[in-house]
């Protein structure tokens, strides 16, 4: 088992299939939908142990996520 620090950039805008999870009157994800979206992206890299949003780019509607994930080698 290996532990890695990874950094992802995640869109804060609602993907077309998640419009019901958007904030009313906005194209941004609700916090619970955003959490699920981030965790789904993280599992592409391994099993997340912890993660945090470390920056938000309001102009591009993206969030920088740093995470510790474990992978089986």
pLDDT tens figures, 3-35? 999 999 998 876 655 545 555 666 666 677 788
Q: Is the pLDDT of residue 2 over 70?
A: yes
Using DSSP, state whether 20 is helix, strand or coil. helix
CB 8 within 8 A of CB 69: no
**Tell me, what's the pLDDT at 23?**
56
What's the pTM value of the predicted model, to 2 decimals? 0.79
Q: Is the pLDDT of residue 69 over 60?
A: yes
In whole angstroms, give the CA distance from residue 23 to residue 39.
19
pLDDT digits (tens, 9 = 90+) for 50-62: 999 999 999 998 9
């Amino acid at each position: 088992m290996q532990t890695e620090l990874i950094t992802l950039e995640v869109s804060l805008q609602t993907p077309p299939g998640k419009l019901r999870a958007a904030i009313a009157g906005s194209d941004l994800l609700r916090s619970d939908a955003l959490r699920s979206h981030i965790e789904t992206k993280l599992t592409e890299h391994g099993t997340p142990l912890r993660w945090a949003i470390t920056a938000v780019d309001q102009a591009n509607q993206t969030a920088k996520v740093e995470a510790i994930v474990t992978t089986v080698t």
